[in-house]
Amino acid sequence: MIGAARRSSVPQRVLEAIRAVVGNAPAALHEPCFEGNEWRYVKACLDSTLVSSVGPFVDRFEADLASFTGASFAVAVSSGTAALHVALHLAGVVPGDEVLVPALTFVATANAVAYCGAVPHLVDSEERTFGIDAEALHAYLNEIAELRDQRCINRRTGRTIRAVVPMHVFGHPAEIAAIIAVASAFHLIVVEDAAESLGSTVGARHTGTFGAMGAISFNGNKTVTTGGGGAIITNDRELARRARHLTTTAKLPHRWELRHDEVGYNYRMPNINAAIGCAQLEQLPAFLRAQRGLFEHYRAAFETVDGGHILSEPGNCCSNFWLQTLVLDQAAASYRDAILAAGHDAGILLRPPWVPLHRLRPFEACPRMDLRVADSLAARLINLPSSPRLFEPASRQ
Ligand SMILES: *Cc1c(COP(=O)(O)O)cnc(C)c1O
């Protein structure tokens, strides 16, 4: 049991460990940090009057992002959700298809599938990375699916399973090679939900570049923010061209004519958001150092706390440590809500993971495999304050 060696209660003991890292001041879950060129670039953007979706900061942000991730192309869009939506559309997901998504993810992963008129098909997680369990998925597909004309058909529903969307949970890379192998065996297109994993790599390769496309988010709580925003990264020139076209209302290039050749979306990232993004990307290496440093502090502080551990990065991977995570042992899971309450009482905004998708009203009837690991993890994870600035020694007491 947590804290059995001491007389203080379990939630108190956990809170002490957190405070040893973040100090006694109230702490948010993940606050943005604007200590670079943000003001300068936003001013330059306003002075230029190019505030909307055309402008030099968008081009520069895309180039910087491609260069940082090693992807051949990056297309900046208005949100991570929009990036997922367009990526799935370009992957060929059509109404009536099924798309494999982890049950343990943010709702946007499944929403994007639903925007395509397709049905999320929920997949279980694996204990080490919290991403899709490739082995269990393989066995499950062997049982329920068959290949017909190069298509994966769900024998129970008769629908085509078109794609799979691995997600890199809290920035920790999923077992992407194994997931890609299953996808190839069943002719599934891979779209990575890399919304949380900017800066996370497997070997030397950036998450989001293993599948046909990857979606990144720049929401206010992510490692790098543009206020709101997202990007599609890909190594495929044609997919990048289609993504840029579709997200710009499918407008054909012309000096004055407004002609559109398909139903497109107003999903491009405004220049003013990209201005913030350019300044943020300059600081990304420092953010990553701070988030890793914060992880080391948490790990040390929880070393003596029995009953749980701080999630570390998977082998052969480099995590961005976006959200630090306390993993309670099965036996200590019953303390979760008391720990959350004690944190909130103290102004420390601890957070449980997402309610798994099969427990959300819009997705409760979705087809799914056995989701016991996703359920178990959802009941015993706690995200800890993770802002890069918490790493600064000055903020620690
Ligand atoms: C943040 C997030 C998204 C969505 O990004 P937005 O920019 O908020 O639309 C999608 N998937 C996951 C896993 C996320 O964490």
Convert the pLDDT of each residue in 265-275 to its tens digit. Answer: 999 999 999 99
**To test the ligand 1 pocket, which listed residue (106, 130, 221, 232) has its Cβ within 8 A of the most ligand atoms?**
106
- Assess whether 221 and 86 both reside in one domain: yes
State which H helix or E strand residue 55 sits in.
Answer: none
- Assess whether 28 and 47 both reside in one domain: no
pLDDT at 292 over 70: yes
Residue pair 98/153 in contact (Cβ under 8 Å)? The answer is: no
Give me the pLDDT at residue 396, please. Answer: 44
- Assess whether 44 and 29 both reside in one domain: no
Q: How far is the CA of 322 from the centre of ligand 1 (A)?
A: 13
Q: What share of the chain is helix, strand, coil (3-state, %, to 5)?
A: 40, 20, 40
- Assess whether 156 and 250 both reside in one domain: yes
> Sign of torsion, CA 241 246 248 249?
positive
pLDDT at 338 over 60: yes
pLDDT at 150 over 70: yes
Ligand 1: does its nearest atom lie under 6 Å from the Cβ of 81?
yes
Give me the pLDDT at residue 7, please. Answer: 56
pLDDT at 142 over 90: yes
For residue 39, count other CB atoms closer than 10 A to its CB: 12
**Among 3-17, 141-155, 277-291, 345-359, which stretch is predicted with the lowest mean pLDDT?**
3-17
Give me the pLDDT at residue 53, please. Answer: 82
State which H helix or E strand residue 146 sits in.
Answer: strand 145-148
Residue that finishes a domain, picked among 229, 262, 281: 281
pLDDT at 306 over 90: no
Ligand 1: does its nearest atom lie under 6 Å from the Cβ of 381?
no
Ligand 1: does its nearest atom lie under 6 Å from the Cβ of 171?
no
| Mean pLDDT on 333-353 | 95
3-class SS letters over 282-305:
HHHHHHHHHHHHHHHHHHHHHCCC
Q: What does pLDDT average to over the chain?
A: 95
Distance of CA 355 to the CA centre of its chain: 15
Q: What is the pLDDT of residues 188-231, one digit of tens each?
A: 999 999 999 999 999 999 999 999 999 999 999 999 999 999 99
Q: How far is the CA of 98 from the centre of ligand 1 (A)?
A: 20
Q: How far is the CA of 114 from the centre of ligand 1 (A)?
A: 15
**To test the ligand 1 pocket, which listed residue (172, 196, 322) has its Cβ within 8 A of the most ligand atoms?**
196
Give me the pLDDT at residue 393, please. Answer: 55
| Mean pLDDT on 87-96 | 98
Residue that finishes a domain, picked among 232, 256, 281: 281
Q: How far is the CA of 217 from the centre of ligand 1 (A)?
A: 5
Q: How many alpha carbons lie under 13 Å from residue 45 in its C-beta half-sphere?
A: 26
Ligand 1: does its nearest atom lie under 6 Å from the Cβ of 78?
no
Atom of ligand 1 nearest to the CA of 83: 9
| Mean pLDDT on 229-254 | 97
Using DSSP, how many helices (H) and how many strands (E) does the chain show?
11, 15
Which tokens belong to 13? 């003991």
Pairing of strands 151-154, 230-234: unpaired
The band of 2, judged by pLDDT with boundaries at 50, 70 and 90, is low
DSSP 320-348: ---SEEEEE-GGGGGGHHHHHHHHHHTTB
Residue that finishes a domain, picked among 264, 281, 298: 281
Ligand 1: does its nearest atom lie under 6 Å from the Cβ of 110?
no
**Among 1-15, 103-117, 128-142, 316-330, which stretch is predicted with the lowest mean pLDDT?**
1-15
Q: Is 245 helix (H, G, I), strand (E, B) or coil?
A: helix
Rg for the chain (alpha carbons), in Å?
22
- Assess whether 22 and 61 both reside in one domain: no
Domain span at residue 112?
38-281
- Assess whether 328 and 201 both reside in one domain: no
pTM: 0.96
- The most distant pair of C-alpha atoms in the chain lies apart, rounded to whole Å, by 75
Give me the pLDDT at residue 3, please. Answer: 47
- Assess whether 244 and 203 both reside in one domain: yes
- Assess whether 28 and 42 both reside in one domain: no
Pairing of strands 160-164, 189-193: parallel
Domain of 306: which CATH number? Answer: 3.90.1150.10
| Mean pLDDT on 38-57 | 94
Tell me 52's DSSP state. Answer: S
Ligand 1: does its nearest atom lie under 6 Å from the Cβ of 86?
no
| Mean pLDDT on 8-23 | 91
pLDDT at 302 over 50: yes
Residue pair 97/218 in contact (Cβ under 8 Å)? The answer is: no
- Assess whether 22 and 91 both reside in one domain: no
Give me the pLDDT at residue 392, please. Answer: 73
Separation of first and last alpha carbons in the chain: 27
Sheet of 381-384: strand order equals 308-310, 324-328, 381-384
Question: Rounded CA gap, 70 and 242, in Å?
Answer: 20
**Among 12-16, 212-216, 284-288, 392-396, which stretch is predicted with the lowest mean pLDDT?**
392-396
Ligand 1: does its nearest atom lie under 6 Å from the Cβ of 323?
no
Q: Is 309 helix (H, G, I), strand (E, B) or coil?
A: strand
- Assess whether 209 and 305 both reside in one domain: no
Residue pair 362/114 in contact (Cβ under 8 Å)? The answer is: yes
State which H helix or E strand residue 211 sits in.
Answer: none
Give me the pLDDT at residue 348, please. Answer: 95
The stretches of 30-99 forming alpha helices (DSSP H) are: 38-48, 56-69, 80-90
pLDDT at 6 over 80: no
pLDDT at 394 over 80: no
- Assess whether 247 and 156 both reside in one domain: yes
How many domains are contained in the chain?
2
pLDDT at 357 over 60: yes
Domain of 272: which CATH number? Answer: 3.40.640.10
Question: Rounded CA gap, 205 and 184, in Å?
Answer: 19
The band of 397, judged by pLDDT with boundaries at 50, 70 and 90, is very low
- Assess whether 341 and 361 both reside in one domain: yes
Ligand 1: does its nearest atom lie under 6 Å from the Cβ of 243?
no
pLDDT at 145 over 60: yes
Ligand 1: does its nearest atom lie under 6 Å from the Cβ of 223?
no
| Mean pLDDT on 126-150 | 97
